[in-house]
Amino acid sequence: MVTIVLYLVSLLVGFLMGITGVGGILIPPALILFSGQETHMAMGTALASFLPVGVVGTVMYRRLGHIEWYKALPYMAGSLAAWPGSLLNARLPAGPLVAMLACIIMFAGLCALRPPRTGKGSAFWQSGKGFFCIGAITGLLAGLTGAGGSVVSIPWMIIAGVSPMTAVGLAMPYQVTTALFGTIGNVANGHVDFAILPYICLMALIGLFAGIAVTKRIPTEVLRKLIGGLCCGLGLFLLLRLILS
């Protein structure tokens, strides 16, 4: 029964990622609660599960016309910071990492709920250098926490004026490089559970297909609010779990 709940959570995560690009932050606590994994192992396994989801999501969002490679490539290059982030993860206590991530997620979600504004700052963040910085900062956080990075980078891009659908599409190839290089570091530290990983990936992929199918019918403004609200909820969930644990 416990294993079934874990797989259902993975299915939900895939669905949320298909719609909003975020939701993977639910995997680490689900692994801790329903498989008994310690925090670092759960974070590493969660990050590894985003690799196939990112590959399939990239193909599907590219077909929908929401991935522009001149934006995606510097964004992906910045995500290489997930590798040193994953190495730092093994050397830092889990509690402060989770608290830091929760606060960042809630702040990003609240900002994403506000209508995007144009200006010098948004112009920079939509440039190649800006996308590289977003990828590097959130990639480092992804390696540290196993969150995948998109939970911060997507609302960040929306704040900068990128359309929600484009932000979600760009997050897919970004997740590939983040998960790949973060997982390299986690494997070196023995923090990936390869026994349960294939089942989590399979359920997440099923959910992803369903989520992307639904996304085609969601208006842009609704999608932006959905992403912001989901980020706020996930951040609050992490804080409450940390306080009560």
The DSSP call for residue 148 is -
Q: Please, which pLDDT band fits residue 236 given cuts at 50, 70 and 90?
A: confident
List the domain boundaries for the chain: 2-244
Say what percent of the chain tops pLDDT 90. Answer: 24
d(CA 216, CA 200): 25
Over residues 170-175, the mean pLDDT reads 91
Say what percent of the chain tops pLDDT 70. Answer: 93
Q: 46-50, 86-90, 116-120, 170-174: which has the minimum mean pLDDT?
A: 116-120
Q: Mean pLDDT of all residues in the chain?
A: 84
Residue type, 3: T
Q: Which residue has the higher pLDDT, 94 or 152?
A: 152
> How far apart, in Å, are the Cα atoms of 12 and each of 23, 116, 211?
8, 28, 9
> How far apart, in Å, are the Cα atoms of 227 and each of 72, 106, 122?
20, 11, 19
pLDDT tens string 17-49: 888 888 777 788 788 778 888 878 888 898 899
Q: Please, which pLDDT band fits residue 133 given cuts at 50, 70 and 90?
A: very high
Under 8 Å between Cβ of 183 and 47: yes
Q: Is the pLDDT of residue 191 over 80?
A: yes
Under 8 Å between Cβ of 156 and 125: yes
**In 67-196, where does DSSP find H-type helix?**
69-78, 82-89, 94-113, 120-125, 128-145, 150-159, 164-188
Q: Which residue has the higher pLDDT, 185 or 59?
A: 59
Q: What is the pLDDT of residue 103?
A: 82
**Between vectors from CA 9 to CA 39 and to CA 226, what angle results, nearest 5°?**
105
Sign of CA dihedral 122, 128, 132, 133: negative
For residue 237, give every residue at least 6 positions away whose Cβ sits within 8 Å of its Cβ, in sequence order, or none: 29
pTM of this prediction exceeds 0.85: no
Helix, strand or coil, per DSSP, at residue 161: coil
> How far apart, in Å, are the Cα atoms of 33 and each of 39, 48, 245?
10, 18, 11
